[in-house]
Amino acid sequence: MIISVPKETAPGERRVALVPESCKRLIQAGYAVAVEAGAGAAAYFSDDAYQGVGATVERDAASLLGKADFVVRVNAPAANEVDQIRSGAFLLGSLMPLRNPGVMKALAARNVTAFSTDAIPRTTRAQPMDTLSAMANIAGYRGVLLAAAELPKYFPMLMTAAGMVPPAKVFVVGAAVAGLQAIATARRLGANVSATDVRPEVKEQIESVGAKYVGIELKESASAGGGYAKELSAEDKARQAELLADQCAQVDVVITTALIGGVFAPKLITAAMVKRMRPGAIIVDLAADGGGNCELSRPGETVVEHGVRIMAPLNVPSAMPNHASILFSRNVTAFLQAFTKDKAFQFDLKDDIQQGALITHAGQVVHARTKEAIAKAGGQ
């Protein structure tokens, strides 16, 4: 069975889906692995490193995809790449199907059986396959470093010959994986950190990594299960807005990480809240890929409004391509190895992990939420 690894084509993408160490494991498990020339270069994995573990390196992307039994990639393919995948092949990657419904329709029409790692159930058994958590961890870490580099103040308290400098105050919105890593990183840099989340059950997690929890008593539960949050009621939104306005006005840095269902970003930080913030303050909107948590954010850009620098970086994990590729590669390798038997991938619709991650099969979009997204987008 041939596993093919194409070079990522999304603008600014520097990650690769499989690194040499993972290729070696899969080859030992009985697969043949083919990698497009230069696929790992931006993440500092050379073609020689792939060949050194037994993978083949090919320059023709169309040929690579056309003969693959299983295509492994980081992002959803572009339309022209879908047409190059062999009909009947498997595809695995972080496809973000709710953000890419058109591509999912194209994959179904091509008769590709596609699995999306961001749809894998968040269960103990599936934890080693969880690319969302692995990449969110990097985003939370990197987001704080971006803030520290831009803030016109020290993060830690410092005693100097000129007197004491107080620590920066950091407020983290959202305490899933990215938020908790942001808290931990800001604390390691010496900041005073507070954090909030609409799921009150994460209070202990926030406090365990050294932040002060601030929150509201919700009228309705905001937990959507699986570590995700759902949209708040109108009443709870109003009370949350008051809390956010007060907290943002008191701090030097706001890190936002909030996503509804792990996909789309609610607008939480309004222009009025930004106007109340301290001059020189920083907002790092880590939800920019989902549209952004701040209504003044421009995804992919940095802007200054009311003296506040608003950073909305896209695809933050790609800024650390080496470790991001290693972790992503280990996640997808865990998925493949879990379902390998007799040197081949065993498709099993009865398995809860495969069932949850399955987006397209037998010419159809089979993932319920993706079908809903296609219907909303005007598809069939």
Q: How confident is the model at residue 217 (pLDDT cuts 50, 70, 90)?
A: confident
Q: Which residues pair with 175 in a beta bridge?
A: none
Cα(330)–Cα(75) distance, rounded to whole angstroms? 16
Cα(352)–Cα(123) distance, rounded to whole angstroms? 10
* Cβ–Cβ under 8 Å, residues 69 and 89: yes
- SS3 state of residue 23: helix
What is the reported pLDDT for 61?
Answer: 95
> pLDDT by residue (tens digit) across 55-80?
999 999 999 999 999 999 999 999 88
Using the Cα atoms of residue 150, residue 151, residue 157 and residue 162 in order, give the sign of their dihedral.
positive
Question: What is the fold of 136-314?
Answer: Rossmann fold (3.40.50)
Catalytic residue among 51, 63, 83, 133: 133
Question: In terms of DSSP bridges, do strands 163-165 and 158-160 run parallel, antiparallel, or are they unpaired?
Answer: antiparallel
Cα(236)–Cα(268) distance, rounded to whole angstroms? 12
| Whether 130 is catalytic | yes
What is the reported pLDDT for 231?
Answer: 67
Cα(24)–Cα(13) distance, rounded to whole angstroms? 24
Catalytic residue among 28, 87, 127, 364: 127
What's the chain's average pLDDT? 94
The separation between CA 211 and the C-alpha centre of its own chain, rounded to angstroms, equals 23
> pLDDT by residue (tens digit) across 349-375?
999 999 999 999 999 999 999 999 899
Catalytic residue among 63, 228, 298, 337: 228
Catalytic residue among 69, 86, 99, 122: 122
How confident is the model over 274-286, as a mean pLDDT?
A: 98
The token pair that represents 225 in the structure block: 């299960």
| Whether 99 is catalytic | no
> pLDDT by residue (tens digit) across 299-340?
999 999 999 999 999 999 999 999 999 999 999 999 999 999
Q: Write down the residue that tokens 């305490």 correspond to.
A: 175
| Whether 133 is catalytic | yes
Q: Which of these, 47, 82, 52, lies nearest to 66 by C-alpha position?
A: 82
Q: Does the 2-130+321-376 domain belong in CATH 3.40.50.300?
A: no
> pLDDT by residue (tens digit) across 127-149?
999 999 999 999 999 999 999 99
What is the reported pLDDT for 216?
Answer: 78
> pLDDT by residue (tens digit) across 178-201?
999 999 999 999 999 999 998 888
The maximal CA–CA distance of the chain, rounded, in angstroms, is 71
* Cβ–Cβ under 8 Å, residues 176 and 170: no
How confident is the model over 7-17, as a mean pLDDT?
A: 97
Residues of the chain within CATH 3.40.50.720 domain(s) are 2-130+321-376, 136-314
